[in-house]
Amino acid sequence: MNVLVINCGSSSLKYQLIDSVTEDVLAKGLCERIGIDGSQLVYQKAGCDKIKTKAPMPSHQEAISLVLNALMDPENGVIKSLDEIGAAGHRIVHGGEKFTESVVIDDEVIAAIEECSDLAPLHNPANLIGIHACQKLMPGKPMVAVFDTAFHQTMPEYAYLYGLPYEYYEKYGVRRYGFHGTSHKFVSNHLAEFLGKDIKDMKIIVCHLGNGSSVSAVKYGKCVDTSMGMTPLEGLIMGTRSGDIDPAIMEYIAKKENLDIAGVMEVLNKKSGVGGLSQISSDFRDLEDAQAEGNPAAIRTMAAFEYRVAKYIGAYVAAMNGVDAIAFTAGVGENGPVTRTGVCKFLGYLGVELDEEANHKRGFDNIISTPDSKVTVCVIPTDEELAIARETVRLVEK
């Protein structure tokens, strides 16, 4: 079955058409600047160059319509008709406490995703627009919702509660939910498989280090803690997000910089992180380059980033009373050997020993610790789209 995987943002949409039998990506791409002047469709058939087409996309429906046309294009397409798409899988950011796993989309599910929109006002409404657009363009096609939060729903109460008035949890759902769950689940399962072990016997820490970054503790296959919180702002220092700070800083900065709440949130979400700290770039490639040239701002920024990751690893070793394996994944987790070394240099007390030659290879599942290392450290490339496609097929074929 071919599965169309859709990841819908407020003004963009990423898509992949995946053959679920071979797990090959037949075509992929994105729509940019939906609802804004200058929108563009990027389409790439497997093994071919990207084709960029400027086309008006007043709404997500036009965007998805253009994607479907590109997939069926007589010259560059990969399918002849919509009948060749068996199902669609949608990435949904927030499933609140309602969704502990992926579900087939029906009216009830749509209403429940709407109810969770308060918790992710930028993301869930955009995700829903994608669902509605697909329903109009491919009526009757089975669709599945895969939630970023679902994998983390196994966290114990003591890990997800904040030290706030309990009524905020009861009335408003204020608690830790965690994100990147599709990736944490995919990587932890894949790691166990790769090492030839049963995940039910393993304590795993997954470090998903990209533009958005999070760490999770996966004990015997279940998430027991994760660094992102009620929103993706908590935890690690990220590309442009601050991660953990003293909450009182918000009032202090608001007064000093004459900002309202929206202004402070803008600073914490968009102007902070490694970008704000370095004042060089929020892109880890630029920072690693500047660090290699001895740039002091890049050096202090990467040190702070790596230290925070190591601190979370330490916390999760405590949470699980041990760790068997640590996995690095996502943009810099998969591609940044210097950053991985920087994190692991704090982990000597765990008996972690890196094999620097292995650490400098990239692009495949790899053990980067020495055979003597007490904890196995791996690079496991994540693939959230493939995970969504697998979930979609599992539920549609049930």
What is residue 176's three-state secondary structure?
A: coil
Q: How many CA atoms lie within 13 A of 221 on its CB side?
A: 7
Q: Which of residues 265-294 bind ligand ADP (CB under 6 A)?
A: 283-285, 288
- In the list 9, 96, 232, 239, the residue contacting ligand ADP (rule: CB under 6 A) is 239
Task: Locate 90 and state its tokens.
Answer: 């949608």
Of the pair 89, 212, the CB lying nearest ligand ADP is at 212
Give the shortest CB-248-to-ligand ADP separation in angstroms: 28
| Separation of alpha carbons 173 and 159, rounded Å | 15
Cβ atoms within 10 Å of 104's Cβ, excluding its own: 14
Of the pair 339, 392, the CB lying nearest ligand ADP is at 339
- In the list 178, 210, 235, 273, the residue contacting ligand ADP (rule: CB under 6 A) is 210
Long-range contacts of 189-198 (CB under 8 A, 24+ apart): 189/221, 190/365, 190/380, 191/325, 191/327, 191/365, 191/378, 191/380, 192/221, 194/365, 194/378, 194/380, 195/325, 195/367, 195/376, 195/378, 197/324
In the complex, which residue's CB is closest to ligand ADP?
Answer: 331
Annotated active-site residue in 73, 118, 148, 201: 148
Cβ atoms within 10 Å of 167's Cβ, excluding its own: 9
Give the shortest CB-338-to-ligand ADP separation in angstroms: 8
Of the pair 93, 317, the CB lying nearest ligand ADP is at 93
355 binds ligand ADP (CB under 6 A): no
Give the shortest CB-394-to-ligand ADP separation in angstroms: 24
342 binds ligand ADP (CB under 6 A): no
- Compute the Cα dihedral for 194, 285, 39, 95 and give only its sign: positive
Binding track, positions 313-332, relative to ligand ADP; x by CB under 6 A: -----------------xxx
Give the amino acid at 252: Y
In the residue annotation, 372 being an active-site residue is answered as no
336 binds ligand ADP (CB under 6 A): yes
Supply the residues annotated as catalytic: 148
Residues of this chain that interact with ligand ADP (CB under 6 A) are: 210-212, 239, 283-285, 288, 330-332, 335-336
